[in-house]
Structure 1
C-alpha cells in the first residue's frame, strides 16, 4: 500500500513538473513571437515588394527566391527547392461588363474572370440573362430557356452559419462547376455571384473547372461583385428582357516549372519521423495575397524560427513547406506527397495555415478519435492565450494528399468572420493584416508543434473515412 501511494505521488509530481515545463515553453514562444516576431516583415516584403503570386508568374518565382533566402538565413539544417510543374493562366487586360436595360442605356458593374476561364470573343458577349440559385436549377429550366443566354448564378453564402467556411462550402460549387454545367444546356457564358458575405464592389475570383468539356465547347465564366449581383437581380425582376454584356481576355498557356520551398530542422532522437507545417506560396493575381496565403507561409516559417530561438531541440524532424499552386491545381501538395511516398518518408503530423492571419481560435483535426483525445489533454495550456477550439474537422488542401499515411492532420483555425471579405479579391492586401493577430497565430502553431513533438501521437490509429 505504501509503495503504491509513493508511486502515485511520484507520477502526480512528474505530471505537475511537465505541466509547469510546458507552460514555460509556451510562454517563451508567445513572448518571443509578440516582441521579436519576423513574420510581419516577411509578409510586408511578399505583399508590397512582390505582390500577387499566381502560379507560373514572375511574382511567384520571386516569392520562391525570397522565401528560400529567408529560410537560409535562419540557420536550419537543410533548405531546398522541390521542382513541380504548374499551370500558367493569365488574366490579360481588365474585364468589363454592363447591364443594358434599353439600347444605349447601360450601367457598368464590376466583374473578374474566374481562374481557368476561357476568354470571350474579341467583341465580348451580349445576351439575355437567366438567373438561377444553383446548378440544380438548370435541369428544371431546360435547354429551351437557357440556350444562347448568360446564366447568372446568384446563390449567396448562408449568413446564419457562424462558420463562414461552412457557408462558403455551401455555394462554391456554382463557381467551380457552373460553366461546365451551363454549357451542357447551350449557355453563352456564366456570371457567378462572388463568394463573400459582405455587400461591396469587389468581385472575387477563384478556380473553376470545365471537367472533360472540349476546349472548343468551353464558355467564359466571370464573378460579379455582390453589389453588382444585387443590382442585376433586382433589375432582372423589373425587366426580364434586359441584356448583359461582358468581355475578358484571359488565356491558358503551357505548364511551367516552379517549386515548393522546403526547410527543416533534423530531429535529435527520431529523425526519420517528420512533422510538417506549411501554407501555400501562390495566390491569386487580384490584391497581393496577404491573407490567402502569405500569412500562412510566414507563420509556418516562424514556427521553426520560434522553436529554434527558444532553444528547443526537437526529437522529430520539423519541416516547413511552402506549397506552390494550391489555388488552381494543388500541384505542390500532390508533388510533395508523391516524393514522400517514393522516398518512404514517415510523416507523423502535418499542420496547415490557410484561413487568413486573423486572431487564432484553435485547431481542427483530421485524425483518429484516440489522437483527438490525446491532443485535447493540452487544452488547458492554451487557455491563457484564449485558444479554445480543438475539434474534428478539415485540415488543409495541401497536406491532405499525405492522408494515406498513419498521421495526424491539423488546420489552424483563426476567427473566420472577416476572411471572406478579402478572399480572392482585390482587397486581400497587407494593410488588412494585423501584426499582433498574425504573430499570435504563429505562436499558437509553434506551441502545438512543440507538444506533438514532445509527447508524440498515438500510432496505428489511421484516419477513418
Structure 2
C-alpha cells in the first residue's frame, strides 16, 4: 500500500511539474503579444470615446482657460477609473492669452472697394488699436528679404510674409520647419524696421479658407514696441499676392482684440503602473493636453493624449504586468510655452528619477507609419531588431531623428526618446486651425496608433534597451 501511495504521489507531482512547465511555455511570444495589443485596441479600446468627450464636450483647450481645467479634471477622472497604481496632478504655472471677439480683415484696392479675408491672431500677439490697423503692404518671402528692404521700405507699413511650405518635401514636418520662423519671429523682426503690423501666410500645404494660428514671440522687445500679428488663409494669401502685383498701393486693414493676462496655475495629468521587477526604471508616454482655441484640438493633440492613456488601458485589458514603471503624462502648455514639459523634467531631475525611455504622440491621429528615435546608437540598434514585428501592421519607418517637444527636456546621454510618426500628408490641413475637429479623426487610424505605441512600450519594457 505504501509503495502504491508513493507511486501515485510521484505521478501527481510529475503531472504538476509538467503542467507548470507547459504554463511557462505558453507565455505569449512577442508576435503573439503584439497581436493581443492590436486586437484589444481595435475591439475594446477607449481612445475614440475619450477623444469624443474632450473634443465635443470640452472643446479647444488653450492654456489657462476654463476648458483646459475641464480637460485636466476629465482625464484625471478617466485615469482614476483604470485602476492604476497612482494618478496625480503636477502643478505648473502657464500663460493666459485670450483671443477676444472675432478678428476682422480686408484689403482695399481703391477707396470703398474692399475684399474681406479670413484672418486669425497669432498666439501671444498684442491687440490692434481699437479702430484697427490700416496701411499699405510690403510682401516678403522671409526674414532675410525683410532685412534687405530695411526701414526705408518698411516703416509705417504692414509686412506680409508669404513664403509657402515647400510642396516638394514629402516629409511635411520638414516643410513646416522651413517656413515657421516667419510666423514665430516675424513681428519681432518687422517691428525693428518700423512696421505697424504683420500678416503671415498660414502654415498649410492646401489652398483653403482656414487661417492657422500658432505661437509667436516678441523676444526682448519692450511692450510699447510690440506690433499686432495675424495669419491669413492660404487662399487669401494667394489672392492678396496677385492683387499686389497688379496694384502695389493696395492697403490692408485688420482688427483684433487679444490680450495677455498674468500667468495662472494649471497641471500636468500623470498616471502610472508600477513596475514589478524594475520599478525605479521609468518609461514615459504622453501628449499635450492643451490646444489652440480654434477648432477643438482633436488632432493636435487630443489624439496623442488619448492614445497615451490607451497604452495603460491596453496593458490592463490584456493582463500584462510591466517589469518597469509605465507612466502616462498629459502635458500642459506645449502650444505657447512648453511649461508642462519643462516642469515635468525639472521635478524628475529633483527627485533623481531614472527615465530610460520616452515616447510622445504629437503628429495627429492618422495611420501610424513608424517612429523616429533620439538616443544612444546602441539602443537604436536594439530597437531596429524589433522592426520586423511591426511590418504585419504596415508600420515600417524606424529612423533616427526628433522625438517630441514635451519629452525633449528629459534628454540626456542615456535616455532614448521617440516620436510616433503617423502619415503626415493631411496633418497641416488641420494644424492650429478651426477645422481641427473630431469628425476629421478616423476611429480605426486612431486605434492603430495607440496599439503601435503600446507595442513599442511593451517591447522596451520586456527587453530593456541595453545591448
Taking structure 1 as the reference length, what is the TM-score of the superposition? 0.94
Distance, in Å, in 1 between the alignment partners of 2:181 and 2:422 is 24
Structure 2 counterpart of 1:41, from 39, 45, 49:
49
Match of 1:180 in 2: 188
- 1:135 partnered with 2:164: no
Distance, in Å, in 2 between the alignment partners of 1:139 and 1:335 is 37
- 1:390 partnered with 2:402: no
| Deviating more after overlay: 396-405 vs 417-426 | 396-405
Match of 1:358 in 2: 366
User: CA shift at 1:19, angstroms?
Assistant: 11
Match of 1:379 in 2: 387
Structure 1 counterpart of 2:127, from 119, 123, 130:
119
Distance, in Å, in 2 between the alignment partners of 1:288 and 1:313 is 35
User: CA shift at 1:458, angstroms?
Assistant: 2.4
User: CA shift at 1:144, angstroms?
Assistant: 0.4
Structure 2 counterpart of 1:317, from 299, 322, 325:
325
- Kindly indicate whether the alpha-carbon contact (under 8 Å) linking 1:290 and 1:428 is maintained by their aligned counterparts in 2: yes
- Kindly indicate whether the alpha-carbon contact (under 8 Å) linking 2:323 and 2:461 is maintained by their aligned counterparts in 1: yes
Match of 2:449 in 1: 441
Match of 1:348 in 2: 356
| Deviating more after overlay: 231-240 vs 364-373 | 364-373
- 1:85 partnered with 2:111: no
Match of 2:9 in 1: none
Q: Which runs of 4+ in 1 moved over 4 A?
A: 17-20
Distance, in Å, in 2 between the alignment partners of 1:95 and 1:458 is 54
Match of 2:339 in 1: 331
User: CA shift at 1:196, angstroms?
Assistant: 0.3
Match of 2:223 in 1: 215
Could you tell me which runs of 5 or more consecutive residues in structure 2 were left unpaired when the two chains were aligned.
Answer: 1-24
Q: Deviations over 1:371-422 (max 9, x none)?
A: 1111000111101100001100110000000002621000000000000000
Match of 2:16 in 1: none
Structure-to-structure mapping, 1:269-284, within 5 angstroms: 269-284=277-292
User: CA shift at 1:20, angstroms?
Assistant: 6.7
Q: Deviations over 1:19-45 (max 9, x none)?
A: 970011000000000011100000000
Number of residue pairs matched? 443
CA RMSD between the two structures = 1.1
- Secondary structure of 1:404's aligned partner: coil
- Secondary structure of 1:162's aligned partner: coil
- 1:245 partnered with 2:239: no
Could you tell me which runs of 5 or more consecutive residues in structure 1 were left unpaired when the two chains were aligned.
Answer: 1-16, 460-465
Match of 1:195 in 2: 203
Distance, in Å, in 1 between the alignment partners of 2:55 and 2:176 is 25
Q: Deviations over 1:203-246 (max 9, x none)?
A: 00000000000011000000000000001000000000010000
- Look at both structures and tell me which one has the larger radius of gyration over its CA atoms: 2
Q: Deviations over 1:126-161 (max 9, x none)?
A: 000000000001111010000000000000000000
- Secondary structure of 1:363's aligned partner: strand
